[in-house]
Structures are given as structure tokens and as C-alpha cells.
């Protein structure tokens, strides 16, 4: 297994803006790093497990993905739009109230499974980096370890970034602007995921698509 390009690929895919990182940044602003840490660990572990499973079951998943892409995108879009709505209603950092809770460890683990891009990334990783001659269980284990070790600090940067922004966002007006910007980005990304998975020609004639 060629670890250098595998590591670089994972770094690029996990540190760039995406639903996971936007949610972690928003959680860092609202709840701080320590309360965001369970979701952070859950997302990294969930990503690692998902990649391992896809690597082991590549032969079956590859054919199934073609039929499931749109449905995964619709399910993920619905959840991301709900999260975007929750972001617009977020309160002052450190004053979230008794009813507001950060995403937990289990939520972080499951979050990736509604993101069709993570599914496609896992398939691409298996196609590009799955070594020939290595038992699938061993390759899947290595994929999981490398993915977890690379993803954890990369997505952690976004949680830390949210914590650093919290001081700047003490002003209610700044916080409201931040929440709406993050919600808009998340909603736009959700809709883009669906549009990207629609059959060819469906959006012909629609501007900006």
C-alpha cells in the first residue's frame, strides 16, 4: 500500500470545506472544543470505519452505488437542511441553554453515512489505493487506521477555528451573521449534492446549475 499518496489524498479530502467541517466549526463556536470533541472523534472514527467497509466490500458496493447515489443525496440533503435551520437559531456562545446540546459521539459516527461524497471518497480510495495480493480484512484495517489518524487533526482544525472565532462573535450581530453564513453554506452544499446526483439533463435550462 502506497501510504504517501494515500495520506495526501485523505488530507486534501478531509481538511477542505464540507458538511462535517462546517458543523464542527459551528459547534466549536457554540459549545467550545471540549464539548465538540465527542462529535469530532465520532466523525473521524465513522469515516475510518466507512472507508474500511467500502474497501472490503468494494465489489458489491461499486454496483450498488450507482443506484443509491440520488437517494443518499436526498437523505443527506434533508438532514443538512435541518442542521442549517438549527444554525440560524443558534444562541450566544456559552449561552446555548439547557435544551441545546452539541452533536455527540454516536451522532458524529453516523453523520458520514448521510454524506454521499464520503461514500464516493471511500470507493475512490479503494479503487486507487487497494493493494493487490493483500487480504481484504488487512487492507480494510490499514485504511481505517490511516484514515482516522489523518482525518482527526484535519477536521479538528475546524473545531479549533470555531473556538477561536467565539471571542470575535460575542456581539449578537456578529454571531447572527456568522450563523446565517454557515447555515447558507451548509444549505447550498446540501442542494449542490442533490443537483450533482440528478440524472443528466434534468436541470438543463436552470440558471447557475
**Average pLDDT value for residue range 168-184:** 76
Bigger pLDDT: 199 or 115?
Answer: 115
Give me the pLDDT at residue 23, please.
87
Residue 11 located in a structural domain: yes
Q: Is 207 a domain residue?
A: no
Q: What is the percentage of the chain residues whose pLDDT exceeds 90?
A: 12
Q: Domain range spanning residue 21?
A: 3-92+101-197
Domain assignment present for 202: no
For residues 44 and 129, which has the higher predicted lDDT (pLDDT)? Answer: 44
The yes-or-no verdict on residue 14 having pLDDT over 90 is no
pLDDT band at 1 (very low <50, low <70, confident <90, very high): low
Cα distances from 73 to residues 30, 57, 76, 153, 196, in angstroms, run 27, 21, 5, 27, 9
CB atoms inside a 10 Å sphere around CB 46: 25
Classify residue 154: in a domain, yes or no.
yes
The pLDDT of residue 33 is above 50: yes
Lowest model confidence (mean pLDDT) among 66-75, 172-181, 186-195: 66-75
Q: Is residue 206 part of a domain?
A: no
Which one, of 182, 149, 183, lies nearest residue 14 by Cα? 149
Domain count, the chain: 1
**Is the overall model pTM greater than 0.85, yes or no?**
no
Q: Which residue has the higher pLDDT, 143 or 3?
A: 143
The answer to whether the beta carbons of residues 24 and 182 sit under 8 Å apart is: no
Place 101 in a pLDDT band, splitting at 50, 70 and 90: confident
Whether the predicted pLDDT of 118 surpasses 70: yes
Amino acid at each position: 500500500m502506497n501510504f504517501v499518496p494515500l495520506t495526501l489524498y485523505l488530507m486534501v479530502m478531509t481538511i477542505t470545506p464540507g458538511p462535517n467541517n462546517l458543523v464542527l466549526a459551528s459547534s466549536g463556536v457554540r459549545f467550545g472544543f471540549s464539548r465538540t470533541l465527542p462529535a469530532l472523534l465520532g466523525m473521524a472514527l465513522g469515516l475510518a470505519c466507512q472507508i474500511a467497509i467500502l474497501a472490503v466490500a468494494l465489489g458489491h458496493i461499486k454496483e450498488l452505488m450507482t443506484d443509491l447515489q440520488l437517494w443518499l443525496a436526498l437523505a443527506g440533503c434533508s438532514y443538512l437542511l435541518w442542521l442549517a435551520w438549527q444554525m440560524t437559531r443558534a444562541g450566544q456562545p456559552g449561552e446555548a441553554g439547557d435544551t441545546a446540546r452539541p452533536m455527540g459521539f454516536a451522532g458524529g459516527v453516523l453523520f458520514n453515512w448521510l454524506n454521499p461524497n464520503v461514500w464516493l471518497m471511500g470507493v475512490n480510495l479503494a479503487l486507487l489505493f487497494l493493494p493487490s495480493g493483500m487480504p481484504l480484512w488487512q487492507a480494510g484495517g490499514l485504511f481505517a487506521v490511516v484514515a482516522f489518524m489523518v482525518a482527526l487533526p484535519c477536521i479538528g482544525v475546524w473545531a479549533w477555528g470555531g473556538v477561536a472565532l467565539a471571542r470575535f462573535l460575542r456581539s449578537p450581530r456578529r454571531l447572527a451573521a456568522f450563523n446565517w453564513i454557515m447555515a447558507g453554506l451548509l444549505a447550498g452544499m446540501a442542494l449542490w449534492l442533490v443537483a450533482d446526483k440528478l440524472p443528466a439533463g434534468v436541470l438543463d435550462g436552470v440558471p447557475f446549475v
